[in-house]
Amino acid sequence: MAIKATIYKASVQFSDLDRNAYSDHSLTIARHPSETDERLMIRLLAFVLNAPANNDLGLLEFGKDMWDPDEPCLIQTDLTGLTEHWIDVGQPDEKRVLRACGRAKRVSVYSFGTTTASWWAKTGPKLTRTTNLTVWQVPAEQSEQLATLAERGMKLQVTIQDGVIYVEAGGKSVEVTITCLFGGP
């Protein structure tokens, strides 16, 4: 018998003081048996950072990337079904990223872990011709700290101030400073 996904629920209060944007999200996230807490929290962070202010261009939803290799981690499709934003986490190969760039108006990759520098050194030069790609790096020690906040029922407060992301849950807080490796917001 196959192991089923574990369901996580997150209540997130988001405040971006740099852009004067505020939102609340109630999220249900399926965690694949092979997924780590670290990857789960990076997916959650990517959602919060990219959730649209309104639904005029469609909803941002969690994808089925762990079950289907042709699916993104997060996807925003417009009302006609066209892909507005394709978001991956981790270190996807260049073919996957190039395929995504051909399918979506915007593509974002959030890389984390200690091997990001070597992955980007190998993959980055093959992606420089793309115009709709942004690649972000979450420092390994910060993504590991973020993983300590993962619980099946989470109440998170995420605040961005002066480019720094503060994530607080249950009396613990983590400071995250992501770096843009390619493209731009």
Q: Which domain holds residue 146?
A: 6-182
Find the distance separating the first CA and the last CA of the chain, reported in whole Å.
Answer: 44
The one-letter amino acid at 178: I
Residue 86 is part of a domain; what is its CATH number? 3.10.640.10
Q: Are 57 and 78 in contact (CB under 8 A)?
A: yes
Q: What is the mean pLDDT of residues 54-66?
A: 84
Position 185 pLDDT exceeds 90: no
In residues, how long is the chain? Answer: 185
Q: Are 120 and 135 in contact (CB under 8 A)?
A: yes
How many Cβ atoms from other residues are within 10 Å of residue 5's Cβ? 13
pLDDT in tens, 133-181: 999 999 999 999 999 999 999 999 999 999 999 999 999 999 999 999 9
Is residue 51 a part of any domain in this protein? yes
pLDDT for res 1: 57
Q: What is the mean pLDDT of residues 8-12?
A: 97
Is residue 94 a part of any domain in this protein? yes
* Number of domains within the chain: 1
Return mean pLDDT, the chain. 93
Is residue 95 a part of any domain in this protein? yes
pLDDT in tens, 73-113: 999 999 898 999 999 999 999 999 999 999 999 999 999 99
Is residue 1 a part of any domain in this protein? no
- CA distances from residue 3 to 6, 16, 26, 33 in whole angstroms, order as listed: 9, 38, 25, 7
pLDDT for res 164: 98
pLDDT for res 25: 95
Nearest C-alpha neighbor of 44 from the set 159, 158, 172: 158
Position 132 pLDDT exceeds 80: yes
Confidence of residue 115 (pLDDT cuts 50, 70, 90): very high
Helix (H), strand (E), coil (C) string for 28-57: EEEECCCCCHHHHHHHHHHHHHHCCCCCCC
Confidence of residue 4 (pLDDT cuts 50, 70, 90): confident
Residue 160 in tokens: 């961005």
